[in-house]
Amino acid sequence: MKKLFVFFLFLSISISAQKVDLSYYLPKNVTYDKSIPTPKEIVGHEVGEWHITHDKLVTYMKALAVSSDRISIETRGTTYEGRPVLLLTITSPENHKNLEKIRQVHMDATDDNSLDVSNNPIVVYQGFSIHGNEPSGSNAALAVAYYLAAADNIDDLLNNTVILFDPSFNPDGLQRFAYWANTNKSKNINPDPNDREYHEVWPRGRTNHYQFDMNRDWLPVQLPESKARIASFHKWLPNILTDHHEMGSNSSFFFQPGIPSRTNPLTPQMNQDLTKEIATYHAKALDKIGSLYYSEESFDDFYYGKGSTFPDINGGIGILFEQASSRGHAQETVNGVLTFPFTIRNQFTAALSTLEAAKGMRVKILKYQQDFYKESRNAAGNKAIVFGDEKDGAKSYHLAEVLKRHQVKIHEIKSDFTSNGKNFKKGFSYVVPMNQKNQLLVKAMFDVRTQFKDSLFYDVSAWTFNHAFGVDYAENISLAKVGKEITDLKMNTGGVSSKSDYGYLMSWNEYYTPKALNAFLQKGLRAKVSMKNFKNGGTSYEYGTIFIPVQNQKLNASDLYQFLNKVAAESHVKITGVSTGLNDGIDLGSNNFSAIKKPKVAMLVGSGIVSYDSGEIWHLFDQRFDMHLTRLDMSYFARVDLSAYTHIIIPSSNIDKASIARLRTWVKNGGVLVGYKNTAKWLASNKMISLEFDIPKIDTIQNISFESKSLNTGAQYIGGAIFEADLDRSHPINFGYKNDKIALFRNSTLFIKADKKSYNNPIKYTSNPLLSGYISKENAKVIKNTVPFKVQKSGRGKVIVFTDNTNFRAFWFGTNKLLMNTIFFGDKM
């Protein structure tokens, strides 16, 4: 056994703020097993000396698992960039031998309130740096894992705890940030906040590969990292889950509870009480090392898509930690020079105080979880919810898939039925009985809320899944309508009904039709779109139906059939071979079938462009529809020949004036420009499109003190809410939608006045549009009857704007088609 001694932190910055060894982090008076390698022995540097890269982190965690019988390791999946999503299970060697039994006993207790939990270990899930550029978490994970593997005095802790240890929630983001911080490190660490080291380039390490904030994906579970993590979560139902973050450099250290008035009403009060009791352990530990901290004044537990809130609707307790960020290796702040090792030490300390709390409050917290599920069972009721879309199987399938990831039981419907004016068709609908274990989680997913205790939100105020997926939905369905349980969820198969020598029709309703159409066009095939409804061979076809003639194609009739079949199968769409061009309504040779041009789409990215918004669009094209999207960085945009592109998308942005002339010329020559959110303002002020904005009137402010000033201005912000609009389905922007209403997600306060000509308002907010979420009364007055979409001709091209986000966080399947319609039919609008 080797004894480590506390090392004094060098205060002189000119020498180095980083000269600390492992003992700086570790508790005093503990001996460590010498057979366990220290991080330095494996990765070649001290914790905090350099920013750990993900590959080195993996190497160290694997080395620990090999050398310690307290640790087992598994790879649960891979990120978009192919990095392993690791999980370490840390507990006593004895517990390791009976791990599956321990897990079973733990899970059984949540199903049977009579079982005695007092001898069960508590399950703690510790996760680090879901935002990759908040690195003190993952860097602390090196020291925490070492401590748990090597400390000689923690048998009692390990006997009573199963630790699910997730050293990097966001491997791709951590790697990107470590590269930045290390690349810019000087030998003489320069704490000047203006130094390049503290200013990452676009896209920053916060997000994953497609620039998603993964700490919003715990409920929608659309990203590979989340899929792996949520599977572990439901496998174990941890009692405590911690989420280690960083915040602004001039802060101190935050631990939950957050702002009490902003706790989601579905979360039991006891959850917050226990959080507060756990907090006393953090306070004590941080007092001991002299670190400043605070709680209850910021952050909240409202949106269940965050890591520290998600456990709260699953019988657990989620805890958020926020450490002031040194961002690089040391930075001057209002609290003096903040060194990277100091930030790591606070995270390390909070990780250990969490385990201390888990040990101290074990039985109480286990009992809380057991009671949570008992109460959930008692409140379940004997009804079901149903959702589906009789013309779009894929959207409904993807929503069912989310429920499956959350271990929610879903069933087929017994037979077709109508409820709430909507048809639910077998094979296109799913029913969820509410008398099941995770019914509270289901309630949280479909929650509709328009009244709130507080008017400020850390994140979105609504996420209602049936609106997000754009599916028909009904509640209070009789259990008599519930068919057999779906254990093997599958997407509907696609294909071509029969070979034709005349032509093929594909209705535009299915989610993946853009993927199929794009494949046809890229192959060089000719396709047309119907501008009117018609009937062929007794079947009704709506606006937007795609027609592929057989004659005069690059492929002969039989190759064409083969190719369409392959594409239809890959895209899960149905294509019908027809034998006649004579229709009820427009015939197939009519000019009302308009030729579709092969798109070549570019998107502006880089500094000045909102990276979340551009990442969502990139992901949509690349991952969902297998479509090329050329990303043009603002740094070389001026040098690119734009004439090759049919479409340019500008996500929400503040781009420079110099670009305007080029874009104007390009549009006049036939380009279709699609701008989102702030870009609408920019295009209007540069006279690329004429828009009239409606601005809410804020009355004279009375009775608001200086202290409450920020609360008042914040209340005018739309952090994210859901609004209803009327659709003119004959307009190409709405092709493929079967209902006359649509739910839109908006997080902006741009309100465009409707045009005087009704046909220029194909999407228009209703007179009472709020479906779910928070909006101030001033904004609520203004939004009614305004328009979230506008298109205007300019020369031979078009300028199109959306004030709402049609691609939000990869789970707003319901409005993805709006963007696709601008790509394939933009020239027809």
Binding site for Zn ion (CB under 5 A): 131, 134, 245
Alpha-helix runs per DSSP H in 215-268: 224-236
Q: Which residue's C-beta sits nearest to Zn ion? A: 245
Residues 335 and 267 sit within 8 Å (Cβ to Cβ) = no
Residue 273 CB, shortest distance to Zn ion, in Å, is 25
**What is the residue-wise DSSP string for 761-794?**
-SEEEEEEEEEES---HHHHHHHTT-BSEEEEEE
What beta strand segments (E) does 579-626 contain?
A: 584-585, 593-595, 601-605
Q: Are strands 122-128 and 161-166 parallel, antiparallel or unpaired?
A: parallel
Residue 460 CB, shortest distance to Zn ion, in Å, is 16
Residue 169 CB, shortest distance to Zn ion, in Å, is 10
The single residue listed with the structure tokens 């896209």 is 203
* Both structure tokens of 104: 């079973």
- Cα Rg for the chain, rounded, in angstroms? 28
Nearer to Zn ion, 173 or 433 (CB): 173
Nearer to Zn ion, 325 or 734 (CB): 325
Task: Compute the distance between CA of residue 400 and CA of residue 409 in angstroms, rounded to an integer.
Answer: 9
DSSP H or E stretch at residue 149: helix 136-150
Residue 247 CB, shortest distance to Zn ion, in Å, is 7
Q: Per residue, what are the HEC states of 559-579?
A: HHHHHHHHHHHHHCCEEEEEC
Nearer to Zn ion, 22 or 214 (CB): 214
Nearer to Zn ion, 106 or 131 (CB): 131
* Both structure tokens of 603: 């998107």
Residue 173 CB, shortest distance to Zn ion, in Å, is 10
Alpha-helix runs per DSSP H in 18-135: 39-43, 54-67, 93-97, 99-111
User: Would you mind telling me the total number of residues written for the chain in this entry?
Assistant: 829
* Both structure tokens of 609: 């462009």
Residue 650 CB, shortest distance to Zn ion, in Å, is 27
587: number of Cβ within 10 Å? 14
| 758-764 LR contacts (CB < 8 Å, sep 24+) | 758/728, 759/728, 759/731, 760/790, 761/728, 761/787, 762/727, 762/728, 762/731, 762/733, 762/734, 762/789, 763/725, 763/726, 763/727, 763/728, 763/733, 763/734, 763/787, 763/788, 763/789, 763/818, 764/725, 764/726
Residue 134 CB, shortest distance to Zn ion, in Å, is 5
Residue 130 CB, shortest distance to Zn ion, in Å, is 6
**Beta-ladder partners of 28:** none
Instruction: Calculate helix-pair angle for 171-183, 54-67, nearest 10 degrees.
Output: 120
Residue 126 CB, shortest distance to Zn ion, in Å, is 16
Nearer to Zn ion, 215 or 815 (CB): 215
The single residue listed with the structure tokens 């579905």 is 266
Nearer to Zn ion, 211 or 509 (CB): 211
Please give the backbone phi and psi of residue 712, each rounded to the nearest 5 degrees, phi first.
-70, -45
Nearer to Zn ion, 322 or 542 (CB): 322
Nearer to Zn ion, 255 or 543 (CB): 255
Residue 86 CB, shortest distance to Zn ion, in Å, is 20
Nearer to Zn ion, 215 or 583 (CB): 215
Residue 304 CB, shortest distance to Zn ion, in Å, is 17
Nearer to Zn ion, 131 or 395 (CB): 131
Nearer to Zn ion, 49 or 134 (CB): 134
Nearer to Zn ion, 159 or 298 (CB): 298
Angle value at C-alpha 625, between 621 and 626, nearest 5 degrees: 80
* Both structure tokens of 292: 């400043």
Residue 459 CB, shortest distance to Zn ion, in Å, is 12
Nearer to Zn ion, 203 or 577 (CB): 203
Residue 567 Cα to chain centre, angstroms: 29
Residue 33 CB, shortest distance to Zn ion, in Å, is 33
Task: Compute the distance between CA of residue 250 and CA of residue 327 in angstroms, rounded to an integer.
Answer: 11
